[in-house]
Structure 1
Amino acid sequence: MAERPPEASTERFDELPMRVGLGQFMQPTRERLRYISQLGVEHVLLNMYATPLLSDTEVPLTGEKEWAFDELVQLRNRVEDAGLRLNAIENIPISFYDDVMLGGPGRDEQLEHVKNTIRNMGRAGIPVLGYHWSPSGVWRTSTSRRVRGGAESTGLDAAELENAPLSHGREYTEEELWKNYERFLEAVLPVAEEADVTLALHPNDPPLERVAGMPFLFRDFESFRRAMELVPSENHGLEFCLGTWAEMGEDLFEAIEHFGGRDELVYVHFRNVEGTIPSFTETFIDEGDYDPYAILEALDEAGFSGMMIPDHVPRLEGDDDWKDRGRAYTVGYMKGMLRGIR
C-alpha cells in the first residue's frame, strides 16, 4: 500500500499551494488511483453526475435522495488508502435537486436532502462540493470532431439545437430560475458554513442563452458576479472552467483578476477550445484560443492556490474510455507549466 502524502494529516486544503489534480471520473478503482499516482498527481476530484462525456455510468454512492455519512467516509478513505487526497466531489445528481432548480412540488424536501448531504460531506472531511444550475445538463452536437492528428473531440454548433424539443415540458423564464437559485443559496450556504464545506459553481455548458426551452443563467461575467453577490459567503465560489469561459468570449484575464482578487476561485478546469459561441471545438491544451501559460501566470498573480484538473480532453489513439492518454498528456503539460513559474 502506498504511503499517504505527508501533508494529508497536517495541512488543510486551503493551506496547500496551486497544484495539478485529476478528475472527470466517478469510480476510484485501485487501478485508476495507481495510474494517477504514477503520473505524479496526489489530488483528485470525483464527479457524481452521470453524463455521456464521462467514462463511468454508476455513482459509487447508493443514496437516491442524499448521500450518507458512512459511504462518504469510505469513499474518502478509498482515495487516501491509495496515497492520494480527495479534494472535492463535483455535482450531486440532477435528480437530487431538479425541483429546487425548477420550483417543483418537491422543492422543500429536496432542499433538506441537499443540506443533509452537505452536512455529511463536512463530517466526512470532504471540503468542496462543485455544483451546476443546469436542469437539462451538458449539451454537445458532436463527440467525434477531428483535431490534431485525427484525435477525436467534442464540439457544438448552436444552429443544430434550434429545433430541440422542450427538455422540461414548457418554456422557463430567467426570472424563475434566478428566484429559485436565490432561495437555494439562502437555504444551503449557512449549512455549508457550519459544515466547513465550500460550494463551487460551474458555468452552464455550453454558455448559450437558452437550450430546449431552458434558460442558461451562468453564461457570462455579469451572471457570475451576480451569483457571488446574491448571498455573500466565504464558503461560495467558482468552479472556474477555462474552456467554458473561453467559449463565452469573455476576457479570461479580467475574470481571473476579479474573482481571484476576491478569493472566489475554488478550483480550475483546464480545457482549451477553438471558437466561441455559437460554434466551438474542444482541443488540446496547447492548441486552443488562449495561452495556457499566460493563464497560469494570471492565476498565480491573483493568489489562486487551489487544484487544477484537466477537463475534457481529446481521445488519442489507444485511449480507454477515460481518455487516460489524453489526460496524461495534459497533466504533463500542466506540471511543466507550473514548474516554469516557480
Structure 2
Amino acid sequence: MKMVFRWYGAGNDTVTLEQIKQIPGVEGIVWALHDVPAGEEWPLDRILEVQKTAHPYGFHIDVVESVNVHEDIKLGLPTRDKYIENYKRTIEKLAQVGVKVICYNFMPVFDWTRTNLFEKLEDGSTALFFEKAKIDNMDPFELVDQIASNPDLTMPGWEPERLKHLPQLFQAYRNVTEENLWSNLKYFLEQIIPVAELHDIKMAIHPDDPPWSVFGLPRIITNKENLRRLLKLVDSPSNALTLCSGSLGSNPKNNISEMVREFADRIAFAHIRNVRVYENGDFIETSHRSSDGSLDISEIVKAYHDIGFTGYVRPDHGRHIWNEKCRPGYGLYDRALGIMYLWGNWDALERSKKDA
C-alpha cells in the first residue's frame, strides 16, 4: 500500500509539510484547490504551484480529494453540461502533473454530517460525533451555525458559497428521489469516465457520510449492494471506489473487510479509520486501534493485505489529542499515530507471509 496524508495547503492547515515528512512511510500528500468553487475549472498555474510546493519534500501529488461536483449535476438541471465540461478540463489538467486518483462524492447539499466537532472521549481527547436523535429533530440551519462558528480554517463540504444557497438547495431537492440521483450520477459518469480512461485516472467515489438519508435528502453510496450498482453504471476500471471504513462502518450492517475482498480490483483509494457505534444510532470517531471502536481495523488491514493492495491509503480522521489546535478531525498527532498502527499491522502480516 502507498501511504498518503491529507494536507489542506500552506496557510490553510495547522500541519506543515515538514511535520508530515517525519511520519514514517508517507510518500505523498492528498490535496485539492479548496478555494475554487464547485463547478469551476481548476487553473493550471495553481495546480503546478501545489506540485512545486510538494516536490522539495519528496512528496508526490497523485491523489486529489476532492474535485467537488456542482449541485446542478446532482440535480440533473440543463446547466449541468457546462459544469461537466469544466470537470473534464480539470481532469485533463490534473493528468499533466501525474495525478492518478480523483476522489469525489455525490452527496446532495451536505458533505459529511456531525452534531459535535469536539465531543469528549473517556481519555480526555475529543473527536467528531454524530447524535442521531439530534439530527432527526434538528433544523439543518442550526448545523450550519455550528460549522460557521469555526471560521479560521475551511471546512470542505461546508464551503461558504454552498451554505449561502442552502434554502434554495433544499427546495430544489424537494422532489428528487434516490432513483433520480442514480440517473444523474450515471449521466455524469458517462461523460467523464472516457476522459479519465484516456488519461489513466481513477475516479474514486467516496461513500456517503453517514451512509443514510440526512434531513430527508437522498443518499445512494451507502452499502455493498449500492457499490455494486455504482460500478455497473459505467463498467470501467476508471470508475472506482474510495472505500472509507469510517463512513460505511457507522452502519453496523456494513462489513468493511468483506467489501475490500469483493471490490478488490476497483478500490483506488482507501480511507482507514475507526468509529464507535452505539445501539441508538449515535457514533463517535476513535483512535485507529481496533479495541477502541466498533470496527476491527486489524481485520480490515488484513483484507487489504490478502488482496495484495497496492493503491493509496490514508489514515483519515483523527481525534484531537495533547491540546492540539487543529481543523476538526485533521490534526497531526492522532493521524500520525493511526499511520503507525496501520503500518504495524501491515508489517506483521508481511513478516508472517515471509515466515510461512
* TM-score exceeds 0.5: yes
SS at match of 1:199: strand
Q: Deviations over 1:174-222 (max 9, x none)?
A: 11111100000100000111122111010001111x2223101111111
Verify the 8 A CA contact 2:104 2:203 in the aligned structure 1: yes
| Matching residue of 2:158 | none
Verify the 8 A CA contact 2:71 2:108 in the aligned structure 1: yes
| Matching residue of 2:54 | 79
* Distance in 2 between residues matched to 1:334 and 1:289, nearest whole Å: 16
Verify the 8 A CA contact 1:46 1:88 in the aligned structure 2: yes
SS at match of 2:236: coil
Matched AA of 1:266: A
| Matching residue of 2:257 | 253
Identity score, percent: 28
Match runs of 1:214-253 below 5 Å? 214-249=217-252, 250-253=254-257
Match runs of 1:159-170 below 5 Å? 159-163=133-137, 164-165=139-140, 168-169=170-171, 170=174
* Of 68-77 and 280-289, the range deviating more from structure 2: 68-77
* Distance in 2 between residues matched to 1:160 and 1:227, nearest whole Å: 31
* Distance in 1 between residues matched to 2:82 and 2:182, nearest whole Å: 20
* Distance in 2 between residues matched to 1:64 and 1:203, nearest whole Å: 20
* Distance in 2 between residues matched to 1:264 and 1:33, nearest whole Å: 30
CA separation of 1:246/1:68 partners in 2, compared to 1, >3 Å: closer, same or farther?
same
Unaligned runs of 5+ in 2: 141-166, 351-356
Verify the 8 A CA contact 2:209 2:248 in the aligned structure 1: no
Instruction: Give the CA deviation at 1:21.
Output: 1.9
| Matching residue of 2:160 | none
| Matching residue of 1:280 | 283
CA separation of 1:119/1:81 partners in 2, compared to 1, >3 Å: closer, same or farther?
same
Correspondent of 2:27 among 29, 42, 45: 42
Q: Are 1:147 and 2:151 counterparts? A: no
Match runs of 1:1-342 below 5 Å? 18-23=1-6, 25-28=7-10, 32-40=16-24, 41-48=26-33, 59=35, 65-94=40-69, 97-136=70-109, 137-163=111-137, 164-165=139-140, 168-169=170-171, 170-208=174-212, 210-249=213-252, 250-260=254-264, 263-275=265-277, 278-286=281-289, 287-321=292-326, 322-342=330-350
* Distance in 1 between residues matched to 2:42 and 2:226, nearest whole Å: 29
* Distance in 2 between residues matched to 1:312 and 1:196, nearest whole Å: 28
* Distance in 2 between residues matched to 1:336 and 1:106, nearest whole Å: 49
Instruction: Give the CA deviation at 1:28.
Output: 4.8
Verify the 8 A CA contact 1:171 1:213 in the aligned structure 2: no
SS at match of 2:242: strand
Moved over 3 A (4+): 28-31, 61-64, 163-167
Matched AA of 2:66: N
Instruction: Give the CA deviation at 1:251.
Output: 1.5
Matched AA of 1:33: L
* Distance in 1 between residues matched to 2:282 and 2:180, nearest whole Å: 28
Verify the 8 A CA contact 1:73 1:125 in the aligned structure 2: no
Unaligned runs of 5+ in 1: 1-17, 50-58
Total equivalences in the alignment: 309
* Distance in 2 between residues matched to 1:216 and 1:168, nearest whole Å: 14
Matched AA of 1:311: D
CA RMSD of aligned residues (A): 2.1
CA separation of 1:63/1:82 partners in 2, compared to 1, >3 Å: closer, same or farther?
farther
SS at match of 1:332: helix
CA separation of 1:62/1:245 partners in 2, compared to 1, >3 Å: closer, same or farther?
closer
* Distance in 2 between residues matched to 1:334 and 1:196, nearest whole Å: 28
SS at match of 1:22: strand
Verify the 8 A CA contact 1:161 1:211 in the aligned structure 2: yes
Instruction: Give the CA deviation at 1:302.
Output: 1.4
Q: Deviations over 1:199-246 (max 9, x none)?
A: 1010001111x2223101111111111000111111121101011121
| Matching residue of 1:10 | none
Verify the 8 A CA contact 2:63 2:100 in the aligned structure 1: yes
